[in-house]
Structure 1
């Protein structure tokens, strides 16, 4: 059993199992809602993992479906675990969606970023500068909370059972001085150190690669240990993001990632490029374009 299983992944797994048993018993959502005395939307949200279910509701559902007692006990226990609070719960006011909870349970993450260093690799100073620029309406307290979540997430890379992380960064990410010269140089040095961890692979997609498969936007592919936990793609936007779980969607993004990593510099060359940028950053180059030639 994966020790990093989070309440989010428990809730997601429970929903999948409840839906499977309901469909196997040929029971409709309307029938379940009527028996439980609740709305159909509540049943639907439980099955999609968007809301937690009480152990008593789970037991009642499984009774309707005629599920054996042993299976019922197992799923009721999962329901109890799904209602526990993850470490990120105190920061729920600044979190949108379920990404942090899913990431906490993932076996591996493959991600492409075109604008910013991924949260798992950010220095605190870089995170502050980035969030302050991107979240114009946030208070100082909200920014502090977002940064704290980001720093807590990074323990996934160094704990006893670390996550496998494969990152491809567009060259633009390491060429833009977020936070200014000193902050960005420190961030690049941090990238080099982290990229040498055995569970981290980092590649740079250079400008010279030209047009490439990832030009439609950034994304992360999260893979899970247990067969019953379906992998998922997350595409981020300003209001949160979108989770894609269909087999064809997942396959498309896996193909995109494979094409991007093939076009990118190999890991050692990527680290070498970042080391060069620490010494001679592009943002200080006399050849840069700054509105005039």
Structure 2
């Protein structure tokens, strides 16, 4: 998949689960189609994410495979195509349409792995840092509201079962003075505090590590407990975003992450480096 929006990504999650469940049951498409009174060609399109299906058909298919409870409800929510916007409803016209799909995925993800090269990850940004980043952009429309929308993303860590978040942040992102020395120092201390949260791991990849996989390509990989065999890689740029969820491509990013985690400083050493950089900013 090259470039796509949230609904297409959600359709592919459903397709991935349909194929996995049928493979586990060791059933041919025709057998499943007959059992749920569905045309085999339609089932084929659903499994390839080429067509959207109704909630009624989805419920019949997943129930046939024995899916129930929370997982069934989540799958049906994905099938509906229009996710509940939650806090996004307060920021209509502020959060870009192409970003809404990611926010929905981030909300449901159980594990997130991020490589940040030049900028501190959005979910970890302080308000002052986010304001300085956005103010430097090409558009300052609704700047204050856009900053507040970004701050809302951190709420994902306050839910009853927060996701595991593992971030590898390049030293260059920590040494780029965004806003002012004080803004940057406060941001570094905020990262240190967040890294002490049980479900958050922050490692610094020092400049001395040299060349590494994905040197010019920051990315975020999301995993879902309710669809454990599915992963999606998210990347954004000035005017949009790209999602990659082909299993072979996702495996490449998994491999890159393993190399990055191995090359990065341990957690304690990462906190020490961030604290030392913050001290330098006060000189």
- CA 1:280/1:227 → structure 2, altered by over 3 Å: closer, same or farther? same
Aligned position for 1:86:
85
Q: Are the aligned partners of 2:29 and 2:44 in contact in 1 as well (CA < 8 Å)?
A: no
The alpha-carbon deviation at position 84 of structure 1 amounts to 5.0
The alpha-carbon deviation at position 19 of structure 1 amounts to 7.9
Indicate the structure whose relative CO is greater, using CA pairs within 8 Å and at least 6 residues apart: 2
Gaps of 5+ in 1: 1-5, 33-42, 47-52, 286-293
| CA displacement, residues 106-126 of structure 1 (integer Å, 9 cap, x when unaligned) | 111111010100011000111
- CA 1:196/1:54 → structure 2, altered by over 3 Å: closer, same or farther? same
Distance 2:199 2:73 in 1: 35
Structural mapping, 1:103-118, within 5 Å: 103-118=106-121
Q: Are the aligned partners of 2:17 and 2:227 in contact in 1 as well (CA < 8 Å)?
A: no
| Secondary structure class of the residue paired with 2:86 | coil
The alpha-carbon deviation at position 145 of structure 1 amounts to 3.1
Q: Is residue 2:104 matched to residue 1:101?
A: yes
| CA displacement, residues 8-50 of structure 1 (integer Å, 9 cap, x when unaligned) | 9876544556788895536335999xxxxxxxxxx8352xxxx
Distance 1:77 1:221 in 2: 20
Distance 2:252 2:41 in 1: 32
| CA displacement, residues 215-264 of structure 1 (integer Å, 9 cap, x when unaligned) | 13101111110246611111222222211111111110011011111111
Bigger Rg over Cα: 1
With normalisation by structure 2, the TM-score equals 0.75
Distance 1:68 1:252 in 2: 30
Aligned position for 1:243:
243
Aligned position for 2:139:
137
- CA 1:71/1:7 → structure 2, altered by over 3 Å: closer, same or farther? farther
Aligned position for 1:169:
169
What RMSD in Å do the two structures reach over aligned CA positions? 3.6
Q: Are the aligned partners of 1:9 and 1:229 in contact in 2 as well (CA < 8 Å)?
A: no
Aligned position for 1:288:
none
| Secondary structure class of the residue paired with 1:212 | coil
Q: Are the aligned partners of 1:7 and 1:101 in contact in 2 as well (CA < 8 Å)?
A: no
The alpha-carbon deviation at position 160 of structure 1 amounts to 2.0
Distance 1:72 1:78 in 2: 13
| Secondary structure class of the residue paired with 1:241 | strand
Runs of 4+ in 1 over 3 A off after TM superposition: 6-32, 67-84
Q: Are the aligned partners of 2:16 and 2:230 in contact in 1 as well (CA < 8 Å)?
A: no
Aligned position for 1:40:
none
Gaps of 5+ in 2: 1-5, 23-27, 34-38
Q: Are the aligned partners of 1:195 and 1:202 in contact in 2 as well (CA < 8 Å)?
A: yes
Distance 2:171 2:241 in 1: 23
- CA 1:45/1:146 → structure 2, altered by over 3 Å: closer, same or farther? farther
Larger mean CA deviation between 6-15 and 213-222 belongs to 6-15
Q: 2:40 aligns with which of 17, 21, 27?
A: 27
Distance 2:51 2:269 in 1: 46
The alpha-carbon deviation at position 138 of structure 1 amounts to 3.5
Larger mean CA deviation between 9-18 and 199-208 belongs to 9-18
Distance 1:68 1:278 in 2: 52
Distance 1:78 1:157 in 2: 23
Structural mapping, 1:148-159, within 5 Å: 148-159=148-159
